[in-house]
Structure 1
């Protein structure tokens, strides 16, 4: 019997590429998102076998629906990927509370809500891995994106504690700390082309995740990650 992957936030560019890779490896995939029609259209263009794929409606911010969503799944997951995302600019976030709050809900509160339901299901004794798609923006506070970055930092720290909590149950928790990704979320932003990574590249890192907690895709971004992490505050304050 093939294993099941539950992808939350399945309409993200990275998530869709990860779904394709999981399907190629023979997994059953439950693609969960608010944008079910978009996922269906995307999968049709890729000639995906409907025998391997289930598309389900999931809203990370509708916390009151999460219990029912999980109870209605056609199979309990072996692997869970949380890839839901939402972003407004820092300038907008500073004057638009709803935009800030939605980032907090999607990146952190929604993740905690559904993941708690999943890990508290002790009848699912084959849960083996939880992967969260986070961001390098959460490594160090920067004046250009600290509101968005703070929501990703919270998510990363939650996953770090969850990894320890689930250690005795032999459930591996990974966080993908990604830099700039060429996607609909970054479309229109003035980003260095040499640092943009393709969604398919990030997806491969997800599907091939091993035992390490922090996975930073890309050699350049591994270097940047270390610089940001250990840079003295007097220098970090000068970052854009």
Structure 2
């Protein structure tokens, strides 16, 4: 596939389990992929194992190294038609409260890194290809809960940013979506005690990203849609009783 003629998808944080499934599914649809991550060795192995070397380019990208973002974008050989920001970092709430370094890293990766690079992407008026930006958020950001409010606050901030970016880019006919997901069976959640009946598989979540439509908020799975609606409506007194 000629990456200069096919539509290109730039996936940032492409080493996540969901992002890797997005790579496979975008390729099935005929897209060329620019997969960017700090973990380039792991990504290259994934590309080789799936015989995708002619369809996927692997680049180094550090979401928390803000000063490198402009150079990273400027050096892209082809500017993207779509961008997926999938970078994420999680520290359990009790640890985040005790050690600010974990909190800071969540802020940098989950929110600040996304704002930094997506501002650059969005403000490149010379890129007439850009059609869509999708950011991965979480139901943890819908309301503040005592079990995960530090992580949740970074996701809430990112969702709010994407909502405003959607309004900013609408006049240029560029769609912005946010994927608000519940529990996913991924390495970032490994070791956490999660309700297995609510766990979604990465390929299922990826399908909702790849097939994103015009609605701003994408919530995969009917059960999680109900939970999302309930969380949005709950008064503070009831939220405080949640784990």
Q: TM-score, normalised by structure 1?
A: 0.98
1:27 maps to what in 2?
31
RMSD of aligned Cα (Å): 0.6
Q: Give the secondary structure class of the aligned counterpart of 2:116.
A: helix
Which residue is equivalent to 1:102?
105
Aligned to 1:190: 193
Residue matched to 2:82:
79
1:229 to 217, 225, 232: 232
* Aligned match for 1:8, one of 8, 12, 29: 12
1:28-47 equivalence runs, <5 A: 28-47=32-51
- 1:142 and 2:145 aligned: yes
Provide TM-score, normalisation by structure 2. Answer: 0.97
**Structure 1 residue 3: deviation in Å?**
0.3
Aligned to 2:116: 113
Contact 2:47 2:56 in 1 (8 A): no
Count of matched residue positions in the alignment of Structure 1 and Structure 2: 239
Q: Match of 2:136?
A: 133
What does residue 168 of structure 1 align with?
171
Among candidates 39, 60, 67, match of residue 70 of structure 2:
67
**Is residue 22 of structure 2 the alignment partner of residue 18 of structure 1?**
yes
SS in 1 for 2:83: strand
Q: Deviations over 1:166-185 (max 9, x none)?
A: 01000000000000000001
Please state how far the C-alpha of 1:157 moved relative to its aligned partner: 0.3
Cα separation, 1, equivalents of 2:63 and 2:11: 12
CA–CA distance in 2 between the matches of 1:45 and 1:53? Answer: 12
Once the two structures are overlaid, the 10-residue window that deviates more, 154-163 or 66-75, is 66-75
Name the structure 1 match of 2:157.
154
Q: CA deviation at 1:218?
A: 0.3
3-state DSSP class of the match of 1:114?
helix
Per-residue deviation, 1:231: 0.9
- Tell me the SS of whatever aligns to 1:173: strand
Deviations 1:201-237 (A, max 9, x none): 0000000000000000001000000011101211111
Residues in 1 aligned to 2:70 and 2:237: alpha-carbon distance in whole angstroms: 46
The offset of 1:144, in angstroms, is 0.3
Match of 1:65, SS? Answer: helix
